[in-house]
Amino acid sequence: MGELTETGVVDTVGKELFIGGKWVPSSTGRTFAVEDPATGQVLCEVADASPEDGKAALDAAVAAQADWAKTPPRERSEILRRAYELLNARADELALLMTLEMGKPLAEAKGEVAYAGEFFRWFSEEAVRIDGGYQVAPNGAGRFLVTKQPVGPCLLITPWNFPMAMGGRKIGPAIAAGCTMVIKPAEQTPLSMLALAAILTEAGLPAGVLNVVTTSDPGGVMEPMIKDGRARKLSFTGSTAVGRKLLEQCADKVLRTSMELGGNAPFLVFDDADLDAAVEGAMQAKMRNIGEACTAANRFYVQRGVADEFARRLTERMSALPLGRGTEPGVVVGPLIDNDAVAKVTELVADATQRGAKVLTGGATVDGPGNFYQATVLTDVPRDARMASEEIFGPVAPISVFDDEDEAVAAANDTEYGLVSYVYTNDLKRALRVSESLEAGMIGLNQGIVSNPAAPFGGVKQSGLGREGGTVGIDEFLETKYIAVSL
């Protein structure tokens, strides 16, 4: 598209609702502002959907379901493959768009575009591998046929922190399985999803298969669609508190649900660990997406023998991170998403220091425009500090010390959440013991990043239900049907 400009990239994106293959304004004519979190300035206005618009989007998805379910798997596969190629071809402009509305540095945004594309590539391959079964009945008098069919129209809700990747993680398997959908992106970051809708249309996705509603009233728009009864599945990524409310709403119509909810990830470093690798992994697990990730390391537990050296090395790395607007060269720490996020991090750090924690670096907001908070390392963080039980969702690494393996595992599991845990040790037996003992859906063993489209992503306890990605990701969008055959 020639030389990229911020205004030019924003101008290329549709600002209306995408319903039935058409761009349409809100039925009320209302819009809401999308802001740059680095400056506080308005990037643009987008359509503000009403409950009536939500119903129209669901109408379109329902109308398209039967024909889409009959579409050959290879055709669905090739649409996803073309979308993957288009994402890669436009990575620079999509990354700039994401940085403008979400704040993450350009290099990281470009990585997310590639990550989103990988979901399309992975599920393009899974679309043609939906299998079934043939079995002789135990008494020999009949046969069992087992087939899998699309669950039907789906409602998808994505978060602001990974506005394109979370769309890809949900849209990819829905398309591959033969499901139509209505997707509601977070109101803070709708532009990436609107751009994704245009790319999928260009890739050949039929009208009505994907419908996008942007709204400043998520509850008011989504609840009527959930209670309508025609949608058959809800997939949500977001907070546990909102997830609980959605589960209550889904129960009335017995909707299938996939829930990727909050996290409180422990990061365990044993005294036999490779400290260079542990610090590098800590930087990845903590600072990916400025710490605004459900998989972010939230609690660092370090064995006493290496605690001081680990803290020193981590502080050295964190204090050197360039902070600024994500469009600026070399920036690693961009802004948090909004003022509320800055206030939450500020409160958590203040609470920890009041309870005796020491600030080794950072620990403060940044003067000037934008929602910035310094990269921060705390030591001597007590177990009763709020950040030991609440997601920080910011660039703060709190370190506590442990003495033995049992103590470390007990501390790690002392949470209602169970999304991911990180373990650093060079003792194979300990690695297996601890990994099996940790109450989490994913374990990062000597690595600081666990997310991969080819692997099952999800948690236990109050971190969610179901799995996204991997060979099981498409099953969340399929119903198993058994056919009894008499011979």
Enumerate the active-site residues.
260
Residue type, position 196, single letter: L
- Long-range CB contact pairs, 26-31, < 8 A, 24+: 26/50, 26/53, 27/52, 27/53, 27/56
* Among the listed residues 130, 156, 149, the one whose alpha carbon sits nearest the alpha carbon of residue 257: 156
Quote the CA–CA distance of 278 and 301 in Å, as a whole number: 12
3-state helix, strand, coil in the chain (%, to 5): 40, 20, 35
The helix (run of H) or strand (run of E) holding residue 437 is helix 428-437
* Among the listed residues 364, 401, 363, 395, the one whose alpha carbon sits nearest the alpha carbon of residue 382: 401
Quote the CA–CA distance of 271 and 424 in Å, as a whole number: 9
Quote the CA–CA distance of 28 and 199 in Å, as a whole number: 27
Residue 223, strand partner residues: none
State phi, psi for 292 to the nearest 5 degrees: -90, 70
- For residue 317, give both structure tokens: 């790395």
Quote the CA–CA distance of 315 and 299 in Å, as a whole number: 15
Residue 453 burial by Cβ neighbours in a 10 Å radius (0-12, 13-18, 19+): buried
